[in-house]
Amino acid sequence: MKFGVFWQVPGYEGSSVERRHWETIEELILAEKLGFIEGWLAEAPFYPTRPMSEPLLVVAAAAQLTKKIRFGTLATQVPMHHPLNLATEVATCDILTQGRLDLCIGGRWGGPSSQVMGVSSEIDGDESRAMVAEYSNVLKNAWTEGRLNFKGDYWTFDDVPVLPKPIQGPYPPLLMAANSDGSFKFAAQNGLGVVGITLSQTVSNLSSHIKTFKANINGDVANGNPQPFHVVVSLFVAETREKAHEMMRKNWLDSDVIGDGPPVHSSAIGGGRHDFSSGAGGWGTWDFATAVERCIYDSPTGCIEKLRELETSIPGIDQCILEFNRRGRNTTEVVQNSMKLFSEKVMPHL
């Protein structure tokens, strides 16, 4: 298996915001040394508990201190960005990473965060999905045409020179974060790779979705770019299962559990998302016992067994992306020790 690392929450919550950015970069540097192939960073505007709003800037900084590891956004919230602004930012980051960038897009027009940017709350899910499809086409054309000429339902451009261009050809790999069931087929048909997340999709669902995704891959729309299927898992490895549970329990406190209403400790504009069409339910509603069932917090032997089960259940995974510190309540030293143990005792057996 190929492994990446994911930071939804940068660094340790007890560190300053400035230090948390550097802790993330230090962990990215370590990830390269340990053999992880990619580091994925969330874009989380308006989340006080996730103070990383500009992952592309963090990626550009980390790229100057690494040589091989790839970088991905997971996910860039496209309703927050004008498509031409994002096209030039991504191209610039692709240059500064020397072609080591993947762009995973996500977000919903009409959602609470997009409303802060002036987007109407009246936009429903179907229209938002149509906007995502058109937005991705704008990006592709902006990166491949000398001067952009585009007429769509939502954006129109006439003879616009969009510079710079990315150095990866035809452009950086494009993926979509998939929380709802319909997203997998949609991504495949629109020439995008996909990232499924076990925090919003059961393994059983993902085993079905990968078949649907593979059956609907559209190479013509993808312009020859790969359309991978990645899976994110919340994982922590320690010397014993008991130690792993002890360390991760602090990331799943009883006070974190939210019900049908807004969370007590709101982490986003308008509260959190509690439900998904996948049947997995929002991870914000889970207590620690449920998290242990859905995540992998174990000894090296236990992690090997559970990752083998995952690989068997979802055959054809291109990359297993591991999140070592959901909610960010373990120090960077604890996280780095777990990453090292995974590299030494787990990765060689998979």
The tens digit of pLDDT for each residue in 262-284 reads: 443 333 344 444 333 334 457 88
**Which DSSP string do the residues of 49-77 spell out, in sequence order?**
TS----HHHHHHHHHTT-SS-EEEEEEEE
- Residue 258's pLDDT is what? 80
pTM for the full model? 0.94
- Residue 264's pLDDT is what? 39
User: In 44-68, which positions are buried (b, 16+ CB within 10 angstroms) versus exposed (e)?
Assistant: bbbbeebbbeebbebbbebbeebee
The tens digit of pLDDT for each residue in 19-62 reads: 999 999 999 999 999 999 999 999 988 888 899 999 999 999 99
Total count of domains within the chain: 1
Burial-class residue 79 by CB neighbours within 10 Å (0-12, 13-18, 19+).
buried
Is the Cβ–Cβ distance between 132 and 80 less than 8 Å? no
- Residue 73's pLDDT is what? 98
The amino acid at 127: E
Of 198, 153, 154, 204, which Cα lies nearest the Cα of 177? 198
Q: Which domain holds residue 40?
A: 3-349
Q: Please state, in angstroms and rounded to a whole number, the distance separating the CA atoms of residues 251 and 326.
A: 6
Q: C-alpha angle with apex 128: 126 to 130, nearest 5 degrees?
A: 70
The tens digit of pLDDT for each residue in 124-133 reads: 999 999 999 9
CATH number of the domain encompassing residue 118 = 3.20.20.30
> To the nearest whole percent, how much of the chain has pLDDT over 70?
93
Query: What is the mean pLDDT, run by run of 10 residues, along the chain of 350 residues?
Result: 96 96 98 98 90 96 98 96 98 98 95 88 94 97 98 98 97 96 96 96 96 97 96 98 98 84 40 40 85 97 98 97 97 98 98
Helices and strands (H and E) in the chain: how many:
12, 11
